Amino acid sequence: MVEWRKICSYCHTKFIARMSKPFPIKVSDFKVSHGTCSDCHEKQLEEFRKHRNAAALYWSFDSVKEYFEGNPPYVGQELLVHDTSWNTNIYVIVTVKDPAHTRQKRIVVESYTNGYSGQSFYRSGKNCYAPKGQVKLLPYNDKIGLLAKQEPRNELKLSSKEVFDIIGEN
């Protein structure tokens, strides 16, 4: 175990940092005067979680599936595609082309592609062509939708903090 006195980069308090084997970084890199105390680290994690949840407009795959089962989409309905590729949040307004395609009742939208994902989505919001990817279908959000409609191609690019500032806490 290695212990080293450090000063928190955020609150400027002194604390003792500990690192045990197997060492994740070189001991010489660990032995620097700055770092983050556990209180500030927890605050940063909480802030990150808050912004991440806001970026997804407080929807999870389960809640999206529940929403679409209770409110089946219809042809011409406006929905949002949330694309997190390249560490950004891109929101695009799309319209439903086929609300119940195939036996699985996939939702087919028109007017969006990012090159690797398709225009077909499961009821949970996952993209059929890239289900582990970074593109998902979300119900329409008035605040984000209105901003996206003011942009060219109905496409809005925001940071997670900007999204949180716009829609607030859930």
The 10s digit of each residue's pLDDT in 129-144 is 888 889 999 999 999 9
Q: Count of CB atoms within 10 A of residue 55's CB?
A: 21
Nearest Cα neighbor of 125 from 54, 53, 60, 49 is 60
pLDDT of 170 higher than 80:
no
* 15-55 per-position pLDDT tens digit: 999 999 998 989 889 888 788 999 999 999 999 999 999 99
Domain ranges of the chain: 2-55, 61-167
pTM of the entire predicted model: 0.82
Q: d(Cα 81, Cα 134) in Å, to the nearest integer? A: 10
Contact 153, 41 (CB under 8 A): no
Q: What is the DSSP letter of 87?
A: G
